[in-house]
């Protein structure tokens, strides 16, 4: 029986796939195809093997333009429950054009997301404000980023990242992506950078940081 597995990678285009022990000279080669669950900002692929075998992340190498792809996960078909969190800095330094730009970027992100991928929208300063819980409702998500939130003093990035991972766990997601929109570094978090990184690793959550310019 041929076995299908899902491969998810933080990559725009995959140039090469290597599965040890299944070189083309040994018979039929593995087949790789885009997965219907693939959606920005991640990429997902279905790998079809010519023979039944157990496969782990360590048994697959994916490269793009000759370089290794990081953040690779191998899961059974249908087993990759994924989601994303838009985490938007609403500290005082973001007031005005920077925050308006961040909200415009958030609206652009919504247009690119996969329709069936649950998304949460959160703004933060010293505290988190959830504008949208995890949902696939396009109207609800659009409403959540239609305006510009008020700003406050404090840039608690590490605290916000940890709270986002807690939401990922509560949602039952196997992996997630956080898109962080901010103009600076952490100011005032109770949690440390190390604690935030530990929480991210424990929940298989990646962070894409988008730096914004402020006065």
Whole-prediction pTM: 0.67
- Strands 82-89 and 119-124, by their bridges, are parallel
Which tokens go with 82? 């994924």
Query: What phi and psi, each to the nearest 5 degrees, are found at residue 92?
Result: -60, -30
What residue spans define the domains of the chain?
3-75, 82-211
Which tokens go with 182? 């901010």
Contact between residue 128 and residue 158 where contact means Cβ atoms under 8 Å apart: no
Residue 20's closest CA among 49, 54, 61, 48?
A: 61
Selected from 3.30.43.10, 3.40.50.410, 3.30.830.10, 3.40.50.720, the CATH number assigned to the domain covering 82-211 reads 3.40.50.410
What is the per-residue pLDDT across 145-196, written as a single tens digit (0 to 9) for each?
999 999 999 999 999 999 999 999 999 888 899 999 999 899 999 999 999 9
What is the per-residue pLDDT across 45-87, written as a single tens digit (0 to 9) for each?
777 777 777 777 777 787 878 888 777 777 666 555 789 999 9
What is the per-residue pLDDT across 124-150, written as a single tens digit (0 to 9) for each?
999 999 999 999 999 999 999 999 999
Q: How far apart are CA 127 and CA 1, in angstroms?
A: 52
């Amino acid at each position: 029986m041929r076995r299908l597995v899902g491969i998810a990678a933080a990559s725009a285009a995959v140039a090469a796939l290597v599965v040890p022990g299944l070189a083309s000279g040994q018979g039929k080669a593995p087949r790789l195809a885009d997965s219907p669950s693939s959606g920005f900002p991640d990429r997902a692929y279905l790998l079809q093997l010519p023979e039944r075998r157990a496969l782990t992340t360590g048994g697959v190498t994916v490269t793009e333009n000759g370089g290794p792809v990081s953040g690779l996960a191998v899961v059974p078909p249908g087993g990759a429950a994924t989601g994303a969190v838009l985490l938007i800095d609403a500290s005082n330094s973001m007031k005005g054009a920077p925050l308006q730009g961040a909200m415009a970027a958030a609206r652009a992100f919504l247009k690119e997301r996969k329709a069936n991928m649950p998304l949460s929208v959160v703004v933060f300063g010293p505290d988190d404000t959830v504008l949208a819980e995890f949902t696939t409702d396009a109207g609800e998500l659009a409403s959540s980023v239609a305006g510009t939130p008020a700003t406050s003093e404090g840039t608690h990035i590490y605290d916000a990242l940890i709270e986002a991972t807690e939401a990922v766990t509560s949602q039952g997601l196997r992996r997630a992506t956080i898109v962080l929109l901010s103009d600076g570094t952490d100011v005032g978090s109770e949690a440390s950078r190390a604690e935030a990184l530990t929480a991210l690793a424990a929940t298989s959550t990646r962070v894409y940081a988008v730096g914004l310019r402020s006065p």
